[in-house]
Structure 1
Amino acid sequence: MKIEQIHHVAYRCKDAKETVEWYTKMLNMDFVLAIAEDHVPSTHEPDPYMHLFLDAGNGNVLAFFELPTKPEMGRDENTPVWVQHIAFKVKDRDELIEFKEHLEKNGVDVLGVTDHSIFHSIYFFDPNGHRVELACPDPEEEKLLKRLDEVKWDMLEEWSRTKKAPKHADWLHQKELAEVS
């Protein structure tokens, strides 16, 4: 048995229409499906909802639920805001910069470009407060991923024992740290 791919990833949204309009305008996703019912099919509990599906490319689907009868959505206060996010791949750095300029032109605050060595990213928030990342591969990605692959198990084992960041891949952000210094 093996998982084929992610069928969809679902998040909650504040406003279904606003969410669809934002993702179609800001990230050029296609709105592919809406489902609305008064009862949850899996639990049978009465709870009206709108379930939206957006095409994020290559069979990847991003979904949202608007739940008008539930308390206002919040977030896990014990998890830093930078942790929970969804990342989408774009073709290259030129396209990443193009998205950054498009988002900023439309009033979205964008953090980055951040150089992670194996890929480069920008970060921003959707109208629901979800953190979104756009990432493009580094031209040296294949070689760099090979280096990381060689140490992944050692890193995991050391982390498991010590709960301190192993130094096997310190080189990943060295360039960026040097630029900040």
Structure 2
Amino acid sequence: MSLHDDAVLVLKGYDTGADAAQEELRQTYLHHLARYPDGMWKTCGAGHLTASALVVDPERGRVLLTLHRKLRMWLQMGGHCEPGDATLAAAALREATEESGIAGLALLGGGPVVLDRHPIPAPCHWHLDVQYAAVAPPGAAERISDESLDLRWFAYDEVAGVADASVVRLLERTRDVLDGGR
């Protein structure tokens, strides 16, 4: 199965609950993939899917954010899919591992936590991000990557003070998953 095929299956199975905005995004992503066979890749001029993961500490009271080198914003770990990624989940886990320096991350739940579509500069115009959550193993030590200016653990209640609304929304959805809800 191709990464494109996996993405379609993941999105078809993504439970948006009663969230109309998430359902609209799900449909937008599926339409994008149906229209653009290269819609998984950075080379797609209409935009492309990306995969990310919010890293949660094993005690589940903090999240690890990266100060993105180019954007100069505190964000979850994530980025572009690569040809070696077998699944969207694998892409999110690879990105989170590379950018956090933490081996042994474990994705939460059976799929994405939330979808987030955001504009980026031309020639690609959109990132259609499929966002997951991952728990760090006990005793994990983070390591800054070349893509980051800094890495820092933030208590849940600190995130809104340093990150944008998309990261806050991802944290809220992640906490719902951790609490056993959707």
- TM-score by length of structure 2 reads 0.26
More strand by share: 1
Tell me which of the two structures has the higher relative contact order, counting C-alpha pairs closer than 8 angstroms and 6 or more residues apart.
2
- TM-score by length of structure 1 reads 0.26
Report which of the two structures shows the higher radius of gyration computed on alpha carbons. 1
